[in-house]
Amino acid sequence: MTRLTAPFLDDPALKQVLAALAAGGAQALIVGGAVRNALLGEPVADVDISTSARPEDTVRLAEAAGLRSVPTGIEHGTVTVIADGRGFEVTSFRRDVETFGRRAVVAYSDRIEDDAHRRDFTMNALYATASGEVLDPVGGLPDLAARRLRFVGNPHARIAEDYLRILRFFRLLAWYGREAELQALAACRELREGLTGISRERIGHEIRKLLDAPDPSRAVALMAEAGVLPLVLPGADAGDLPDLVEVEREYGTGALPCWPRRLALLAPQDAEGALRLSRDEARAQDHIAAALALPAPAAAYRFGRASAAQAVLIRAARGERPAFGWCHDLARGAAAQFPLTARDLMPELSGPALGEALRRAEAAFVESDFTLPRDALLRIALQHEARA
């Protein structure tokens, strides 16, 4: 018998919720990512609960134990139970009666096997009791041990229930897998056109999480081979992604987020539209792309230290290693202050001529590595006017 030992099992709030359900005779089990991650020694974020209790019984049992409940997804069998100020999603065992893509007619069940067969991947269909005993209705433990990503049951059927599972497959492969089942890969390739009916917001959510994996390069390469990458990110080129991951390990990335840099390296034709990027996210992509065309100090001056650093790492992945002291160059560029303002050129200049003069002087300031003094910049700004 496999037994889970994880700190969250000693969480008093979790124990309260499980005990409240068990007091009514219901089976109450920890399920999914918490079990998977704990067995892999990975961090556990959220703890979800699966139960044989019907939603109305979950509410009744929670209230009887002095806990508050919120019907956050009661139409899907989910009730959020609040204990010690924290919410735990409690979902009733269900079985599919009929499926229509993402929509399904379901019936509640008393059997863990029925609930397990509704789940996407075998490593996500693992359950644990309050004492840590692991229950494995669909053979997920051997797959987890091998880091093998496999759909529960027929992969074509699982994907047809929700085509976003194609991207979840590659995302989980990037985070937790070493081996992708061949049948699963074939199904992702054959059914990839189903992704055209998925909202760009949902696709963007998955791609962000995939690209944030420690090393997504193999998963992204498999996406490209399966024809999925060009479908969701037209024009993307993942050839340099393994080198970027190596560069990140060599130079360190500090507080810089991974996915914007990796997305900029892929350089899809329309990342903003393809992934429904926010305005700030799209601006960051534009800044990184522009910074790639400039020396590091100039990029830091124009677009900020973070965007310039992202560009330095991307260039390094493409074979252009940064010069010694590049971090100091970025800091110097980001701290540089252009010493002229429009007021300094007035009333001699106004309108378009004023703007052009400031741009000319600022370009000279940057080209001089931020060394030209104010008087020299004034002469450069006014030289065109003097010639006129």
Domain count, the chain: 4
* Mean pLDDT, range 159-169, rounded to an integer: 96
Q: Residue 74: its pLDDT value, please?
A: 78
- Mark which of 174, 207, 232 sits at the end of a domain: 232
Q: By residue range, what is the domain housing residue 348?
A: 342-387
Looking at the predicted structure, is the pLDDT value of residue 163 above 80?
yes
- Average confidence (pLDDT) over 130-137: 96
- Contact (Cβ atoms closer than 8 angstroms) between residue 142 and residue 149: no
The candidate with the shortest Cα–Cα distance to 118, out of 100, 104, 134, 135, is 104
Structural domain ending residue among the three candidates 173, 207, 232: 232
How far apart CA 30 and CA 246 sit, in angstroms, is: 37
Task: Report the candidate in 40, 34, 220, 222 with the shortest Cα–Cα distance to residue 143.
Answer: 40
Contact predicate 111/94, CB 8 Å: no
Q: Are residues 245 and 264 in the same domain?
A: yes
Q: Which pLDDT belongs to residue 98?
A: 53
Residue 236 DSSP symbol = -
Q: What is the pLDDT of residue 1?
A: 83
User: Within this chain, do residues 217 and 274 fall inside the same structural domain, yes or no?
Assistant: no
**pLDDT digits 0-9 by tens, 183-212:** 999 999 999 999 999 999 999 999 999 999
pLDDT higher than 80, residue 99: no
User: What is the CA angle 104-107-109, rounded to 5?
Assistant: 135
Closest CA to 42 of 159, 202, 214: 214
Q: What is the pLDDT of residue 294?
A: 95
CATH code, domain carrying 201: 1.10.3090.10
Structural contact between residues 337 and 362, judged by C-beta atoms closer than 8 angstroms: no
> 14 and 135: one domain?
yes
**Helix pair angle (165-176, 217-225), 10° resolution:** 150
**What's the confidence (pLDDT) of residue 323?**
85
Phi, psi values for residue 12, rounded to 5°? -60, -35
Q: Are residues 151 and 43 in the same domain?
A: no
Taking the C-alpha atoms of residue 5 and residue 38, their distance in angstroms, rounded to an integer, is 8
Q: Are residues 271 and 326 in the same domain?
A: yes
Confidence of residue 158 (pLDDT cuts 50, 70, 90): very high
- Mean pLDDT over the full length of the chain: 93
Whether 225 and 180 map to the same domain: the answer is yes
Task: Please answer whether residues 175 and 213 qualify as being in contact, where contact means their C-beta atoms are separated by less than 8 angstroms.
Answer: yes
Same domain for 369 and 316, yes or no, is no
SS3 73: strand
Q: Checking DSSP bridges between strand 127-128 and strand 48-51, what pairing results, if any?
A: unpaired
| 33-52: burial string, b at 16+ Cβ within 10 Å, e else | bbbbbbbeeeebeebbbbbb
- pLDDT, residue 76, reads 83
pLDDT bucket at 75, cuts 50 / 70 / 90: confident
208 lies in the same domain as 260: no
Answer yes or no: do 42 and 163 share one domain. Answer: no
Least confident of 24-33, 294-303, 375-384: 375-384
Amino acid found at 35: V
CA distance 282 to 108: 43
384 pLDDT more than 70 = no
Q: Which has the closest alpha carbon to 213: 253, 173, 168?
A: 173
